[in-house]
Structure 1
Amino acid sequence: MLNVNFQNIKKSMKMLHINVKHMTKSFDLEVDENMLIGDLMMQLATVSGVPVNAQKLIYKGKQISADVESTLIQAGLSNGSKVMLLGKKYDPTQEAAYKDIVNLETKGLLVETKYLKLCQEMEDLEKGWLAKEHVPQAVSSLEKRANSNNEELHKILANLDTVTVEGNQTEIRNKRKVTATKVNLIMDKNDEFLERVREFKKKIQK
């Protein structure tokens, strides 16, 4: 069996302590001197939120080579080096997919507003505030509009499924999941309302 002493391996590697500053934040990193620039950039993407393709690393007033296959030593870094990271943090709200989801979420909330209006009208009917001769027509109108709400909600869910989300867009995927949950909840409430209307319809037909 091969015995691997990881402590000895770590001792044989020369570690560098470097400080990376991004805007008002500062990151102290301990890295292997033979780490690739590309790997450093990936680590910085994790701690800073700045995507690799948006990063510019400045050392001693000059941009570090964009060659991701270069090592830190080849790039001129040494123990105690201070590096400046330039670049904007990833903002999922600016992605087209996120904006599409927000638009669909807004449509769902508008349907919920219509649902609440229907509930108020139904409550008025149940309290007998409308002349009896107008009640059947009012109930039919409520049922028709509630069915229309469901159709809209089904379309919203279908459109949510068509929004393309990349594998690394976790925030956008979560936003879509939350929005779908909200829309489904509105649909459940609307279904309950439809059942309420139908029960009332049977009652007035007796």
Structure 2
Amino acid sequence: MWLFGRLFRSNSRKMGDGEYPVILCHGQAKHEVTVSPEMTLHDFMVKVEGVTHVPHTSQKILFKGRNLTDRDATLSSLSVGCGAKLMILGKKFDPLEDTGYQAVAKIDQSVSHVEETLHRGVVPEVESIAGGSVDGRQCGEALGRLRKSLLGVNEQFMRLLEQLDGLQFEETQLQARQKRKSVVKRIQMLMEESDQVQEHISQLSLRYS
């Protein structure tokens, strides 16, 4: 008990003004999270989801025998203070049961296939030409072919972005929304890289024209 209290005091010194730790009990697991008195129950439940992986829409939170249901209420008004222990009830998110999440995951696999074309096909060959490993008389034709391949890569990325944009999710499908956001960001980064490779090809074309 002394060590636990000491840990709380140590952690509180690292937190911002007004912040304090509370303990989440979910099954056999216990998690310490940092909250503030002005945090609403809704925001707290979203935070709980990030730790326990129980969707905030299906959580049941018990505190001192009470079921907390007013999502607009602040933790202060609910008397959830420093060191409070809250029991979290609910099933963890299972991606296999979410068709929306699976649709995004399938598109993500397609992104990996296109990325392989870029990283194992186009980029190494461009680097070989830039390094002088290819006969100069063949470089012009090779660069033209690589430019077409890169155009195909970008077109596939664009189609995948359109597919992601066309997916419709319920408000409760937070994980699917987050997964889509991460895949969109991944595609955007790959397209930026593709643009850089395209610029490199253009520079090499001037050299071998």
Give the shorter-chain TM-score range: 0.5 to 0.7
Supply the AA of the counterpart residue of 2:160. Answer: I
**Cα–Cα, structure 1 residues 130 and 25, in superposed 2: closer, same or farther, change >3 Å?**
closer
Q: Is the counterpart of residue 164 in structure 1 residue 182 in structure 2?
A: no
Query: Post-superposition shift, 1:132?
Result: 2.2
- Percent identity between matched residues is 22
Higher mean C-alpha displacement, 110-119 vs 178-187: 110-119
Query: Post-superposition shift, 1:147?
Result: 0.5
Match of 2:150 in 1: 146
Match of 1:101 in 2: 104
CA contact (8 A) 1:111 1:149 kept: yes
Q: How far apart, in 2, do the equivalents of 1:179 and 1:190 lie?
A: 16
Unpaired runs of 5+ residues, structure 2, are 1-24, 31-44, 61-88
CA contact (8 A) 2:136 2:208 kept: no
CA contact (8 A) 1:105 1:179 kept: yes
Aligned runs of 1:42-61 on 2, under 5 Å?
49=54
Match of 2:113 in 1: 110
CA contact (8 A) 2:95 2:102 kept: no
- Count how many residue pairs are aligned between Structure 1 and Structure 2: 138
Q: How far apart, in 2, do the equivalents of 1:191 and 1:50 lie?
A: 38
- Can you list the C-alpha shifts for 1:102-137, whole angstroms capped at 9, x where unaligned? 111111122111111211101111122222221111
CA contact (8 A) 1:51 1:90 kept: no
Match of 1:192 in 2: 196
Unpaired runs of 5+ residues, structure 1, are 1-20, 27-42, 56-85
Query: Post-superposition shift, 1:92?
Result: 3.5
**Cα–Cα, structure 1 residues 22 and 139, in superposed 2: closer, same or farther, change >3 Å?**
closer
**Cα–Cα, structure 1 residues 24 and 142, in superposed 2: closer, same or farther, change >3 Å?**
same
Structure whose alpha-carbon radius of gyration is higher: 1
Question: Runs in 1 of length 4+ with deviation above 4 angstroms?
Answer: 21-26, 50-53
Q: How far apart, in 1, do the equivalents of 2:104 and 2:55 lie?
A: 23
Return the match for 2:138 from 134, 155, 166.
134
Match of 1:176 in 2: 180
Query: Post-superposition shift, 1:51?
Result: 9.0
TM-score, normalized by length of structure 1?
0.57
What is the SS of the residue equivalent to 1:165? Answer: coil
- Can you list the C-alpha shifts for 1:25-67, whole angstroms capped at 9, x where unaligned? 79xxxxxxxxxxxxxxxx9xx88838989x9xxxxxxxxxxxx
- Can you list the C-alpha shifts for 1:55-100, whole angstroms capped at 9, x where unaligned? 9xxxxxxxxxxxxxxxxxxxxxxxxxxxxxx985442442111111
Q: How far apart, in 1, do the equivalents of 2:91 and 2:159 lie?
A: 35
Supply the AA of the counterpart residue of 1:97. Answer: G
Match of 1:8 in 2: none
Match of 1:60 in 2: none
TM-score, normalized by length of structure 2?
0.57
